[in-house]
Chain A
Amino acid sequence: MVTDETPASAPKMSTRDVSVFYGDKMAVDSVTIDIPQEFVTAFIGPSGCGKSTFLRALNRMNDTIASARVEGTIELDGEDIYRSKMDVVQLRARVGMVFQKPNPFPKSIFENVAYGPRIHGLADGKAELETVVEKSLRRAGLWDEVKDRLSESGTALSGGQQQRLCIARAIAVQPEVILMDEPCSALDPIATAKIEELIDELRGRYAIVIVTHSMQQAARVSQRTAFFHLGKMVEYGETSDIFTNPREERTKDYITGRYG
């Protein structure tokens, strides 16, 4: 049973007037939002509204695009992730990401999960690495299904299992925030339900931000919802309020299917 209390602590990440440009084109327009530690925050909005672009700014994945430019401040635990001395590699270990299409490495299941801890030096020796891998796979709800075939290729799993593997991989580096970019849009309803249950279990331990096209999913999974439209964040509030009685006309039009 999801209860929507007010958050007890300071927000995990906060953004002030963040704008993202691709060359001259403004994709995200002055977004100010706090991401709470203990809740799942959903970003909804029509295609091209900037929600994915904004999400990618939170772990500096936009840096890989040459023409991308970010203005404004994004803070993780009070530290500006763009301007301060924070190392982008370390940032991405603290703020993990799961993508729309499951993208396990073409290596074994074990190697997929072990890669992150290995490159960051989080595990000393083989035994500790195995412990980390098992713990991550358990937390992702995948251990029982793969414990006998850890050396099989990660790409041999079903779509839903692959996505859970990607989540386990992200968890293995012990992040503080997990960003999910439409994680279920390539999955069937049963796999989707398993992922949503997993998100519910992970809530609290990690600050989770999920971008989704499905309003039902946002309604099921999140406690806070932000509605994006044409690059602006139009409304942000408790999920139950957004979906029963939104304040903004544009929000209402979108969620009742009157948009367009």
Chain B
Amino acid sequence: MVEHTVKAFDEDITRLRGLIAEMGGLAELAIEEAMQALVSGDEVLGNEVVARDRKLDVLESEVDAMAVRTLALRAPMADDLREIVAALKIGGILERVGDYAKNIAKRVNRIEGRSRFEPLTLIPAMGELAAGMIHDVLTAYAARDPELAREVIERDEKVDAFYDSIFRNLVSFMVENPATISSAAHLLFIARNLERIGDHATNIAEMVHYSAVGTYPPDR
């Protein structure tokens, strides 16, 4: 891509994109480690995830500040403008994704008797899917690839399908084993968080598409 005549502008944009990439990496890691802690019951890991969420919050403020500054000082137009707006929105979304991962990690020590839970095998798969969506959408962001973004959006169907089946599973389990209701409820929330993460990944994908092409993907 041709560079801006004022090189500092390119540096600003590069730094902004770097911040988003960093946030994305942290969010991805948070999801993976939260799922890992959930499966292995590792409270320590869970607490680490919770603590590390603060970094995401800090980065989001940095992205905000950087975006506003670039808008004020550079008066970006066309694709530069879309780039900044996209970065602003994606930063907010990633922060929320991090919050969901943190939420999952918090519930790790609330679940007892984990080996007896059948849904416990479905959830990691759903988690993998969600994490995969986040990973790929960030790849699409880095490459400014609208096609990959569209493909990620399509995957959300599967995540939703997962959620529906986990939901049905857990509800019937809770009916059969009332003693496990509290743990099952937590699992429900965990699944809900993962479903929301999937939705957020599609939101990110839409912004990636808009930034690259100038329009939102069809049937938004």
> Interface residues, chain A, CB within 8 Å of chain B?
215-216, 219, 243-246, 252-253, 255-260
Contacts and interface: CB of A to CB of B under 8 A. Distances in A.
Contacts of A252: 78-79
Given A252-B78, A260-B5, 7 more contacts: A243-B81, A244-B81, A245-B214, A245-B215, A257-B5, A258-B3, A258-B4
Contact of B5 (A244, A245, A255, A258): A258
A216 B78 contact: no
A7 B80 CA distance: 30
B76 interface: yes
Given A244-B214, A245-B214, A245-B215, A257 B9 contact: yes
Contact of B4 (A215, A243, A246, A257): A257
Name which of B2, B9, B76, B77 has the most chain A CB atoms within 10 A of its CB: B77
7 contacts: A215-B77, A216-B75, A245-B78, A245-B82, A245-B215, A252-B79, A256-B79
Contacts of B82: 244-245
A256 B79 CA distance: 8
A137 B24 CA distance: 59
Interface residues of B, number: 16
B30 to A, nearest CB: 34
B175 interface: no
B215 A256 contact: no
A215 B81 CA distance: 14
Name which of B2, B6, B78 has the most chain A CB atoms within 10 A of its CB: B78
A253 B78 CA distance: 9
Nearest to B210: A245
A243 B80 CA distance: 10
Contacts of A257: 4-6, 9, 77
B35 to A, nearest CB: 39
Contacts of B79: 252, 256
B57 to A, nearest CB: 31
A258 to B, nearest CB: 4
B77 A255 contact: yes
Contacts of B80: 256
Q: Which 3 A-B pairs have the closest CB atoms?
A: A245-B214, A255-B77, A258-B2
A256 B214 contact: no
B5 A246 contact: no
A260 B214 CA distance: 24
B42 to A, nearest CB: 48
A237 to B, nearest CB: 12
B5 A259 contact: yes
Contacts of B3: 258
B6 A244 contact: no
Name which of A215, A245, A252, A258 has the most chain B CB atoms within 10 A of its CB: A258
A144 B81 CA distance: 40
A186 B45 CA distance: 65
A256 B75 contact: no
A243 B6 contact: no
Contacts of B2: 253, 258
A256 B12 CA distance: 14
Name which of A253, A255, A256 has the most chain B CB atoms within 10 A of its CB: A256
Interface in B72-99: 75-82
Contacts of A244: 77-78, 81-82, 214
